[in-house]
Amino acid sequence: VGFAALCCLALWLAAVCPARGEAEEVQDAPLLYRAILEELRPGAAVSKILPLSDYLPSLKGSGMDTPVYILEAGFSQNDTTPSFNFDDKKPSAAMPTVLIIGGTHEDEIAGVLAAILFIEHAVPVRGRLIVVPRLNASAAGTADPERPGPHHIVISGASGERYFRYGSRYTDPNYEIEADPIRFYPPGARAGAGLSSREFRNINRNYPGDEAGSLTARTARAIMNLIARENVRVAFDLHEAGPSSGLAWAVIAHPKTIDYAAMAILDLGDKGLNMVLDLSREEHRGLSHREWGERTEASAYLIETLNPGQVPGGLPAFDHVNNAISPLWKRIGYHVETVLAILGIHAEMDEPSGWIGIDSMPGINELKANLAAYF
Amino acid sequence: MYCALQVLALVFILAIIPLPAVSQSSAPVGVKLVKPGFLTSVGQNSDAAVMKVLLNTRLKLGLEYDISANAASLGETKTLVLVIGASNKGLGAAGLSLEQEIARTKILIAAAREKGIAILSLHTGGSARRGDSSNALIKLCIPASSYVVVVAEGNKDKFFDEVCAQYKIPLIEVNSLAEAGTAVKNLFQE
């Protein structure tokens, strides 16, 4: 038993602390996948866990393959996998689905934890929920050298202490197959809209992705394929923003459903939760809310809460859980409440009425009263 | 005698204290606003999109809407509702500098005044829509307004109180978006 425990520990350490610069590490990449699996305690509604590489086989075995959790209850899943081509904008025959993604940027930890909360507590009573809690698996296992946070977040949960790795905004270069360019131009970006070189490894500048591109671009492409294949009607990308960005406490919505976001913001306001609306624009080419909204049938939303640790130089000793200005319960609570508010509007306004319903999620008041009870 | 002195003191105090511009959550006494109304943004913010849903979908006010209206948009409008707050991203996407947005707003306000259109200024975006750029737009719109409605989170420094008091414009401070909607609805003639 002791030997097995040591082996498990070694596997975890290998997964979350890869030595840099050695080519053979790519062969160890599935350990990242396993580390994410071991981090979560899936709830009763999780019917299936798939690798993201099911949606783009060339990711298999790479450091970017990551678990995809399917949650459903009360419905039998469509057994056939319809053919798809998202450029046709034809929804598949699969059950209407909501997609929630955390960990596009693995240092935006409240988005990761909110996604995990959905996996562990949500019960879809109508429709289906797909959650990718740590989209950038390689970034989950490394720190951002320019903006490091704490190694992990500790929550003394109902079932003991739990450790959640605080990662990086960017794909770990040790797991990327292409070198950073001098300047990176997101797909579809207008001339002159180049970004700094490491944005090449930012998934949220790489949509709609490229099946033959970098692993970061392939990951973005796999999400586009997932949205098309799984009949995703509403898709959320959960993020956080630093104090100086001006983006915190905001919903960025694609124009086709900006009124839905506005209605949800009003509903949140009625509960005393203040979010600002922002519009997904042409200048946002390469970002999830723009490309999901433009290229698929899905309604696309990106949610931002305030992460006070996201400052230049980083704050490795920052206490995310108990910070007075933006404590973790508040950040996770805003994500959860905003997702549920937007879904409430879709359930009310879309056809058929009430197509999506999610029960059993703790609200912000419950998380404020006892965050640990839900982990 | 003591009681009379107290009354005199009270009268004196009331006389020297300027009347507050703030009228908490209640419509100020004065003329009602008239429809048709037109809703637009000053600062290219998306707060105007939220107010459109609140005022038209929830409260059925039936205002026309264009996020970047110009003088020609006003048509038969009797009341122009301005949702103030600078969005750098919004300005960038519209290809406008702050100076250009100020120029657009000046033209819009001048056109409204020329046509006798009442102006109602709103600020609903909270602290996210404050700062130098937003303050410049606020100072531009308030003097031309019949009323100003502000959600309290964006008026923690009482900037709206100061500017409204300076120009003697009635200010309604509310605590939420929903209250802002009710305040606006109450200002319109049934």
Identify whether the C-beta of residue B41 lies closer than 8 Å to the C-beta of residue B47.
yes
Q: What is the mean pLDDT of residues B6-30?
A: 43
Structure tokens at A255: 């124009």
Q: What is the mean pLDDT of residues B114-125?
A: 96
Task: Return the pLDDT at B26.
Answer: 35
Identify whether the C-beta of residue A51 lies closer than 8 Å to the C-beta of residue A33.
yes
Which of A263, A274, A281 shows the shortest C-beta gap to B53? Answer: A263
Q: How close A349 comes to chain B (CA, Å)?
A: 12
Task: Return the pLDDT at A30.
Answer: 84
Q: How would residue B120 be classed by pLDDT, with cut points 50, 70 and 90?
A: very high
Which of A249, A258, A283 shows the shortest C-beta gap to B49? Answer: A258
Peptide bond preceding A312: is omega within 30 degrees of 0, i.e. cis? no
Q: What is the mean pLDDT of residues B121-141?
A: 94
> Do the chains contact at A266 and B54, CB–CB below 8 Å?
yes
Q: Supply the DSSP symbol for A190.
A: P
B54 close to A (CB below 8 A): yes
Identify whether the C-beta of residue A201 lies closer than 8 Å to the C-beta of residue A216.
yes
> Do the chains contact at A283 and B89, CB–CB below 8 Å?
yes
**Residues of A whose CB is below 8 A from B57:** 259, 263
pLDDT over threshold 60, residue B21: no
Q: State whether the Cα torsion A370-A37-A216-A338 is positive or negative.
A: negative
Helix (H, G, I), strand (E, B) or coil at B107: helix
Q: Is A63 exposed, middle or buried (0-12, 13-18, 19+ CB in 10 A)?
A: buried
A265 close to B (CB below 8 A): yes
Q: For residue range B170-184, what is the model confidence (pLDDT) as tens digits?
A: 999 999 999 999 999
Nearest Cα residue in chain A from B179: A270
Compute CA A142 distance to the chain's CA centroid, rounded to the nearest angstrom: 17
Distance between CA atoms of residues A76 and B17, nearest Å: 72
**Residues of B whose CB is below 8 A from A263:** 53, 57
Q: Is B93 exposed, middle or buried (0-12, 13-18, 19+ CB in 10 A)?
A: middle
Nearest Cα residue in chain B from A281: B93
Distance between CA atoms of residues B96 and B102, nearest Å: 10
Interface of B with A in 99-128 (CB under 8 A): 125-126, 128
Q: How close A105 comes to chain B (CA, Å)?
A: 21
pLDDT over threshold 70, residue B6: no
**Residues of A whose CB is below 8 A from B47:** 276-277
Calculate what percentage of chain B has a pLDDT beyond 90.
74
Place of tokens 């469509």: A78
B91 close to A (CB below 8 A): no
**Residues of B whose CB is below 8 A from A274:** 126, 153
Name the nearest CA neighbour of A126 among A49, A73, A68: A73
Bridge-partner residues for B82, per DSSP? B40, B121
> Do the chains contact at B178 and A282, CB–CB below 8 Å?
no
Q: How close A272 comes to chain B (CA, Å)?
A: 8
> Do the chains contact at A283 and B46, CB–CB below 8 Å?
no
List chain A pLDDT tens, one digit each, 375 residues.
455 544 444 444 444 443 333 333 445 668 899 999 999 999 999 999 999 999 999 999 999 999 999 998 654 444 343 333 444 444 456 789 999 999 999 999 999 999 999 999 999 999 999 999 999 999 999 999 999 999 999 999 887 899 999 999 999 999 999 999 999 998 887 777 789 999 999 999 999 999 999 999 999 999 999 999 999 999 999 999 999 888 899 999 999 999 999 999 999 999 999 999 999 988 889 999 999 999 999 999 999 999 999 999 999 999 999 999 999 999 999 999 999 999 999 999 999 999 999 999 999 999 999 999 999
Task: Return the pLDDT at B137.
Answer: 97
Backbone angles phi, psi at A300, to 5 degrees: -115, 130
Q: How close A254 comes to chain B (CA, Å)?
A: 12
**Residues of A whose CB is below 8 A from B50:** 262, 265-266, 277
pLDDT over threshold 70, residue B32: yes
**Residues of A whose CB is below 8 A from B129:** 276
Q: Supply the DSSP symbol for B53.
A: I
Nearest Cα residue in chain A from B175: A272
Helix (H, G, I), strand (E, B) or coil at B46: coil
Helix (H, G, I), strand (E, B) or coil at A89: coil
Identify whether the C-beta of residue A72 lies closer than 8 Å to the C-beta of residue A128.
yes
B176 close to A (CB below 8 A): yes
Give the angle B67-B68-B73 at the CA atoms, nearest 5°: 105
Q: How close A324 comes to chain B (CA, Å)?
A: 18
